[in-house]
């Protein structure tokens, strides 16, 4: 039996009440774990970065932090944002690994700096992590509305069977399914599994996200699930060579 003190009075609190309170807190933490959203920024004066950060701030899921990893510091003022800048160019794998080490969350949610999430993005990702076998969740990177015809054409090419082959679900909402490879433009990973798998391998670029996914599914024998409702809007590169690189 414990005693809570109020003004001039002592109120006994039973151990069972404390246990129930702790169980409730544990349940809440399991259902609404802290998500660390990791945004990797590649260049100065990125026209899409603010769009990305503001869309993250508008999420229906509220228990999150934002970690921005960039080459050069960006002057921003968001209450949930922490930033790491290098002062010189650093590759995407190393940046994402740095973000993961800084993260306080149980879940790491990676998104590109030229993408922005739909309002229910995190709310669609998080429930899958209640299953221990799930190490990662990926969602489609849809071409945004209200864009130039060049970007729209690039998006059409990306999402077509000719451009995407059997992976059209990466660019348009498809059916829910298990996958063994998924790009980092929209990928959430349990931090414990990410660290155990060794994170991103900077020796692989491009392909560091493929290496991570294979380590999660083969080395750890875990699952990655594709969730079509976890949509982000991913800007396309309108120039042919840039499109092919993306």
pLDDT tens digits for range 100-132 = 999 999 999 999 999 999 999 999 999 999 999
- Domain range for residue 65? 32-245
Question: 129 in a domain, yes or no?
Answer: yes
pLDDT for 170 equals 82
Domain count along the chain: 1
Question: 5 in a domain, yes or no?
Answer: no
Question: 11 in a domain, yes or no?
Answer: no
pLDDT for 186 equals 98
Residue 3, pLDDT > 90, answer no
Bond prior to 206 in cis (omega within 30° of 0):
yes
Q: What is the CATH number of the domain that holds 62?
A: 3.90.550.10
Least trusted range by pLDDT, from 48-52, 89-93, 153-157, 210-214: 153-157
Q: Is residue 124 a contact partner of residue 229, using CB atoms and an 8 Å limit?
A: yes
pLDDT, tens only, 187-199: 999 999 999 999 9
Average pLDDT of the residues of the chain? 84
pLDDT, tens only, 55-81: 999 999 999 999 999 999 999 989 999
Higher model confidence: residue 202 or residue 64? 64
Question: 203 in a domain, yes or no?
Answer: yes
Average pLDDT over residues 199-221: 91
Q: Is residue 108 a contact partner of residue 188, using CB atoms and an 8 Å limit?
A: yes
Alpha-carbon span 246 to 204, nearest angstrom: 16
Question: 26 in a domain, yes or no?
Answer: no
- Full-model pTM: 0.81
Question: 138 in a domain, yes or no?
Answer: yes
pLDDT for 162 equals 47
Question: 21 in a domain, yes or no?
Answer: no
Question: 127 in a domain, yes or no?
Answer: yes
Least trusted range by pLDDT, from 22-31, 64-73, 86-95: 22-31
Sign of CA dihedral 46, 51, 57, 63: negative
pLDDT for 216 equals 98
pLDDT for 45 equals 76
Residue 135, pLDDT > 70, answer yes
- 3-class SS string, the chain: CEEEEECCEEEEECHHHHHHHHHHHHHHHHHCCCEEEEEEECCCCCCCHHHHHHHHHCCCCCCEEEEEEECCCCCCCCCCEEEEECCCCCCHHHHHHHHHHHCCCCEEEEEECCEEECCCHHHHHHHHHHCCCEEEEECCEECCCCCCHHHHHHHHHHHCHHHHHHHHHHCCCCCCEEECCCCCCEEEEEHHHHHHHCCCCCCCCCCHHHHHHHHHHHHCCCEEEECCCCCEEECCCCCHHHHHHC
Residue 173, pLDDT > 50, answer yes
């Amino acid at each position: 039996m414990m005693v809570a003190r109020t003004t001039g009075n002592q109120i006994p609190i039973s151990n069972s009440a404390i246990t129930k309170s702790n169980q409730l807190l544990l349940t809440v933490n399991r259902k609404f774990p802290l998500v660390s959203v990791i945004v990797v920024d590649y260049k100065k004066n990125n026209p899409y970065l603010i769009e990305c950060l503001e869309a993250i701030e508008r999420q229906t899921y509220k228990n999150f932090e934002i970690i921005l990893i960039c080459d050069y510091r960006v002057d921003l003022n968001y209450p949930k944002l922490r930033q790491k800048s290098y002062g010189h160019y650093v590759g995407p794998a190393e940046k994402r690994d740095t973000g993961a080490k800084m993260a306080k969350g149980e879940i790491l949610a990676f998104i590109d700096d030229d993408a922005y999430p739909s309002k229910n993005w995190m709310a669609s990702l998080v429930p899958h992590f209640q299953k221990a076998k799930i190490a990662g969740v990926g969602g489609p990177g849809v071409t945004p509305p209200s864009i130039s015809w060049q970007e729209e054409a690039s998006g059409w090419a990306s999402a077509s069977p000719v451009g995407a082959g059997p992976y059209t679900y990466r660019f348009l909402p498809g059916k829910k399914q298990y996958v063994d490879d998924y790009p980092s433009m929209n990928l959430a990973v349990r931090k414990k599994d990410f660290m155990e798998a060794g994170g991103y391998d900077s020796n692989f670029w491009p392909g560091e996200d493929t290496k991570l996914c294979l380590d999660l599914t083969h080395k750890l024998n875990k699952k990655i699930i594709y969730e079509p409702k976890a949509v982000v809007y991913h800007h396309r590169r309108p120039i042919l060579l840039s499109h092919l690189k993306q």
